[in-house]
Amino acid sequence: MPVPYHLLQASGSIIFAAQGTDILSFNSSLGHLSTWKYPVKATKTLSEATPGVDAPAEAPPTPEGPPAKRRRTENDEKEAKPGDAATPSSTNGQKKGRFHNKPQVVNISNEKPFINCLITTTNGSHVIAATGSDKTIWAFEHDGFGNLKQLSQRAMPKRPCSLALTTDQKTILSADKFGDVYAIPLIPSAESTLPPSVQSLPSRSATPASVQIPFKPQANDKTVHTKRNLKALENQKISMELSLKAAAEKSAAEDQPAFEHTLLLGHVSMLTAITVAPGIGATGEQREWIITADRDEHVRVSRGIPQAYFIEGFCLGHEDFISRLCVIPNRPDLLLSGGGDDDLFLWKWKEQQLLGRANLLEQVKDLVEPEATKVAVSRLKAFVLASGETMVAVICEKIPAVVLFTLEDEALEHSLTYSLESEGVPLDVELLDNDKLLVSIDTAEGVKPDSGSFLVLTRESPGCWGQQPVVDVPAGETDLNSQELQKLLYTTESLRKMSDFD
């Protein structure tokens, strides 16, 4: 069935949109520019995928599947006679009295993970994405015209759920739902220093920091001339390469990445959001802070790299999970947070001071869902319009509306709740041409099955927005059914604890 555009990210006049496993780019007129597709490896036999390894007669079971069956040995073949009853140990699942040596076909790429995070650098030179079930962070170079060139593909220890960039735009911060935040360089460098014997290992294999630099013996074939010393030098090289490979394989078993990465901080609860805020330090220096949120209602303010272990304080006041954080672009001293509570929270984060709350549930009940009892914030973004006005756009999961607020001094004022009941459910929102809001729509099932939809809202006057005609663009396809697709697109409400449903 068709997949809607579930993530939007603006970069100047270019809009990047994630559609399932792909990233598409559009110009300001929503003309399609290019598409990056998740790389799907060709199906190979197991013996082709792993040189030097014979394909077993039985496919390896999945982790949820039955235990592996014992491999047939030469003794089994000698003892097996035509007409004997077939047993798992003697036939490995083949027909009675027959032994087949057909190559086992396996899908090396497994499933195609959906993109769950999408961000860009401030100047638009790079795009970063994260895909779900393969736990991979992708870095792309952007040529300024919507075309992406893949720079790296790095599999993290745990599945990333939120990404951010440091203020110098050189380091990616990856938060995962196990509570950890890792720092990895935007432009990978450590991988290029690995010797070929280590580079050829799977991406999930790890190499300790002590072996990141390839072995370079002091002697070489130009300085050593005797046959005996040349032989010793060759053996030394082979021994070191084997040591590097053994270290990488050992770390692979410990589930550690093979690239430069640093564990910065951790929560004891499931991390849900991360952002970076610049500011002035106690001695007047320019510095940054890392702000994280979790399922246990905490907003934590930590110092930036290299002192991320130092906790400045907590912004406490939420009574339910927090799913989104947003630093106001033209007021970096202010922070917005939202999640499973009825309200949107506005903080002066450095002082951990709550400035005010804006009720979301009442706005939703008044216009689109009179019987609603809870809301779950799935998107929270702040934009500075061409007029200088600061606009905050909020999307609540499965609610057919976009709620707009304006920032007045240090308070949020409700501006408009724009109903989309006739179009569908909004998935994401971005600023277009400084005075328009681009909204991606998940249309009702059976409506426009061959296209994805964008809705453009134009600001006509303060507090008044007009709707342009819905723009239909080609939709991607997936073999997932409607129920499976819903589980991938709508994940915010699942953060709510079971006791909250009572």
- pLDDT one-digit tens code per residue, 336-368: 999 999 999 999 999 999 999 999 999 999 888
Higher-confidence residue: 328 or 210? 328
Closest alpha carbon to 213 in 197, 194, 227: 194
Q: How many Å apart are CA 74 and CA 78, to the nearest integer?
A: 6
Token code pair at residue 259? 């690239």
DSSP character string of 399-441: -SEEEEEEEETTEEEEEEEEE-TTT-EEEEEEEETTTEEEEEE
Higher-confidence residue: 207 or 485? 485
Question: With helix as H, strand as E and coil as C, how does 365-392 read?
Answer: HHHCCCCCCCCCEEEEEEEECCCCCEEE
Model pLDDT, residue 473: 74
Beta strands 390-396 and 377-384, pairing class: antiparallel
Tell me the pTM.
0.75
| Residue whose entry in the numeric block shows the structure tokens 């001071």 | 353
Confidence check: pLDDT of 251 > 50: yes
Closest alpha carbon to 84 in 98, 97, 100: 97
Model pLDDT, residue 225: 64
Residue ranges and CATH numbers for the domains of the chain are 48-63+71-108 (no CATH), 190-253 (no CATH), 326-502 (2.130.10.10)
DSSP character string of 118-143: EEE-TTSSEEEEEETTTTEEEEEEE-
Model pLDDT, residue 21: 92
Closest alpha carbon to 426 in 405, 452, 406: 452
Confidence check: pLDDT of 220 > 70: no
Neighbours of 500 (CB within 10 A): 12
Higher-confidence residue: 141 or 106? 141
E-strand spans in 20-68? 22-26, 32-36, 44-45
Confidence check: pLDDT of 38 > 80: yes
E-strand spans in 74-204? 105-106, 115-120, 126-131, 136-142, 148-155, 160-165, 171-176, 180-185
Confidence check: pLDDT of 260 > 90: no
**Residue 248 pLDDT class (50, 70, 90 cuts):** low
Q: How many Å apart are CA 478 and CA 449, to the nearest integer?
A: 12
Beta strands 451-461 and 464-467, pairing class: antiparallel
Mean pLDDT computed over 312-316: 96
Q: Residue type for 325, please?
A: L
Token code pair at residue 176? 């995962």
Mean pLDDT computed over 485-502: 82
pLDDT tens-digit map of 175-186:
998 999 999 999
Q: What percent of the chain has pLDDT over 70?
A: 73
- Length of the chain equals 502
pLDDT tens-digit map of 67-114:
555 555 555 544 545 444 444 444 444 444 444 444 443 333 345 689
Model pLDDT, residue 173: 97
CA-CA-CA-CA torsion sign (494, 498, 499, 502)? positive
**Residue 247 pLDDT class (50, 70, 90 cuts):** low
Neighbours of 276 (CB within 10 A): 18
SS3 39: coil
Q: In what order do the strands lie in the sheet with 401-408?
A: 377-384, 390-396, 401-408, 411-419
Q: How many Å apart are CA 349 and CA 355, to the nearest integer?
A: 10
